Amino acid sequence: MTAGIAVQQEISLRKRLPLRHFRQLQGPDIRHLFHRQPEPFGDHADRELLAYALGATLYAPATRADLAETIRRRAAHGVCSMVIDLEDAVADHEVEMAKLQAVETLDLLATSHDPNPLLFIRVRDADTIGEIVERLGPGAAALTGFVFPKFDCATGQKYLDALDYAATRMQRPVYGMPVLESASLVHRQTRDQELSGIASMLAEHRERVLAVRIGATDMCSTFGIRRDRDLTIYDVRVVADVIADIVNYLGRMDGTGYVITGPVWEYFADHERMFRPLLRTAPFEESDAVPFRRYLVSRDLDGLLREISLDRANGIQGKTVIHPSHVAAVHALSVVTHEEYSDALDILQVDVGGVAASEYRNKMNEMRPHRSWARQTLLRSRVFGVANKGVSFVDLLSALVQVR
């Protein structure tokens, strides 16, 4: 790296403000909604905390004409992580132009005083990582890392070696996010071997791996499946089985696991429904928000909300999104409830085990078995905040949609 670029990066890093989830909410709204407000963070934060902070990671094609302005606009409306896509979203004949625009966009964003989202580039192959790094000027300060598509035992090592080169070249942490979606991982006969090999590869580069992403669309394509908007990915059994195995190998809480992010929800327009909506009416009646429920159902967001809840139940944090309207749903359901926060504090305040009734008097907290859950919950509370007592996801989501 030249001395000039190093100086430019240092200036950019000093000027850039930290990110904060829900910064688009102001004054009375934020005080009404939050018992504990989200903490600011930047790409210098602890790796694990940064992984939780990803939230809804929005993809944008590198060929988009107004890419820099789009990123600025999305950041102002609450997006805290974005991927500039050079792979599936870019036609083969536009790849070189897309690479140039990605670099120019990062160089332009690096001069901004406003906080940029955590920015990643999804490359087509490992060689592109070196190309991007060599071309970057001040934009190196705006780049958080790279996304590796179709990561498996055959391709993984080259991606990780290229990531090491990028970190050395840029003289600061640069993170990788492998996407698990290849056929060798999906097929039952080779899955265990693949996951074991991937776990071993990632372990050798642990400090550079920010999160593991799941590419369910490519998994579905292995079987010629496209799930309907009335179904979650967990209703597609062959893919749900793969997700369970990924969490089993790579999501363990024994110090060997990683944050695993949820697959994309593909839909964002209304349609004629075959099945009943997945949202109960009662929470919306309690918040005097029945019309808001109708809006969510009309935009297929009830299915997304259901899938986010199932992601969390299966050990998955955050989600890939391809439409800005999905961001608020992911973030509203990422806020730690007052009840969760109370339970987590109670569990972590003692080391001797045992069982005690929760402060809410509606469950038993087992101090040892629930410690990992409690630790995760407090990490999430730092970046997404803690809701006030009585504040529901309906209140949070409606507030976010109104300011979008």
pLDDT per residue as tens digits for the range 143-167: 999 999 999 999 999 999 999 999 9
Q: Please indicate, yes or no, whether residues 311 and 398 belong to a single structural domain of this protein.
A: no
Contact 213, 177 (CB under 8 A): yes
Sequence-ordered list of residues with C-beta below 8 angstroms from that of 73, at least 6 positions apart, any chain:
none
φ, ψ at 279 (rounded to 5°): -100, 125
The amino acid sitting at 253 is: M
Query: Mean pLDDT throughout 99-121?
Result: 94
Residue-wise pLDDT tens digits, 337-374: 999 999 999 999 887 778 888 888 888 888 889 999 99
* Number of domains within the chain: 2
| Pick from 3-12, 45-54, 252-261, 373-382: least confident | 3-12
The identity of residue 377, as a single letter, is T
Q: Where are the alpha helices (DSSP H) in 77-178?
A: 95-109, 127-135, 156-170
- Same domain, residue pair 307 and 194: yes
Question: Domain end: 288, 304, 332, which one?
Answer: 332
Per-position DSSP letters for 32-71, written without gaps between them: HHEEEPPPPB-TTS-HHHHHHHT-EEEEEETT-TTHHHHH
Task: Read off the pLDDT of residues 390-403 as tens digits, 9 standing for 90 and up.
Answer: 999 889 999 998 76
pLDDT at 3 over 80: no
* pLDDT (0 to 100) of residue 288: 64
Q: Is residue 8 part of a domain?
A: no
Q: Measured between alpha carbons, how far is residue 48 from residues 6, 21, 257, 258, 315 in Å?
A: 26, 16, 11, 8, 15
The mean of the pLDDT values for the chain is 90
Q: What confidence score (pLDDT) does residue 14 get?
A: 43
Is 80 exceeded by the pLDDT of residue 208? yes
Tell me, yes or no, whether 28 lies in a domain.
no
213-242 pLDDT tens trace: 999 999 999 999 998 888 999 999 999 999
28: pLDDT strictly greater than 90:
no
- 10 domain-assigned: no
Query: Are residues 286 and 161 located together in one domain of the fold?
Result: yes
pLDDT for 4 beyond 60: no
Domain closes at, from 332, 350, 371: 332
Q: What is the CATH number of the domain that holds 235?
A: 3.20.20.60
Q: What are 306's two structure tokens?
A: 């259901």
Average pLDDT over residues 305-330: 95
Q: Is residue 76 part of a domain?
A: yes
Do residue 384 and residue 269 come from a single domain?
Answer: no
Q: Which of 155, 200, 207 is nearest to 179 (CA)?
A: 155
Neighbouring-strand partners of residue 34: 387
Q: Can you give the pLDDT at residue 403?
A: 64
CA distance 54 to 116: 13
Does residue 160 sit in the same domain as residue 128? yes
Residue 16 has pLDDT above 60, yes or no: no
Percent of the chain at pLDDT exceeding 70: 91
d(CA 5, CA 140): 8
pLDDT of residue 25: 92
- 15: in domain: no
Name the residue with tokens 């995760």: 376
Q: Is residue 37 part of a domain?
A: no
**Domain containing residue 350:** 338-403
The model's pTM: 0.91
| CA nearest neighbour of 400 among 2, 55, 136, 6 | 55
What integer pLDDT is reported at residue 112 of this predicted model?
81
Q: How many CB atoms lie within 10 A of CB 394?
A: 20
| Cα four-point dihedral sign 293, 240, 327, 207 | positive
Note whether residue 387 is domain-resident.
yes
Q: Kindly tell me if the per-residue pLDDT of 268 is higher than 80.
A: no
Tokens 């970046």 belong to residue: 383
- Tell me the CB-side half-sphere exposure of residue 63, using CA atoms within 13 A: 12
Q: 255: Cβ–Cβ under 8 A, 6 or more apart, which residues?
A: none
Identify any residues that bridge with 175 across adjacent strands, giving them in sequence order.
145
Residue 392 and residue 264 share a domain: no
Among 27-41, 176-190, 264-278, which is the least confidently predicted range? 264-278
Query: Does 328 share its domain with 363?
Result: no
**Is the separation of the CB atoms in 393 and 332 below 8 Å?**
yes
Residues 6 or more apart whose CB falls under 8 angstroms from that of 199 comprise: 249, 250, 256
For residue 197, the surrounding DSSP H or E stretch is helix 188-203
Averaged over 286-293, what is the pLDDT? 71
Contacts of 325 (CB under 8 A, 6+ apart): 268, 299, 301, 404
Q: Both 255 and 304 in a single domain?
A: yes
Residues 288 and 342 in one domain: no
Query: Looking at residue 268, what DSSP letter applies?
Result: -
Degrees, nearest 5: CA angle 239-243-248? 145
Examine the domain organization and report whether 129 and 208 are in the same domain. Answer: yes
pLDDT > 80? residue 245: yes
Residues 305 and 356 in one domain: no
Structural domain ending residue among the three candidates 312, 332, 352: 332
Tell me, yes or no, whether 186 and 273 share the same domain: yes
CA distance 23 to 74: 12
Residue 3 domain-assigned (yes or no): no
Distance CA(12)–CA(107), nearest Å, equals 10
The pLDDT of 258-271, averaged and rounded, is 86
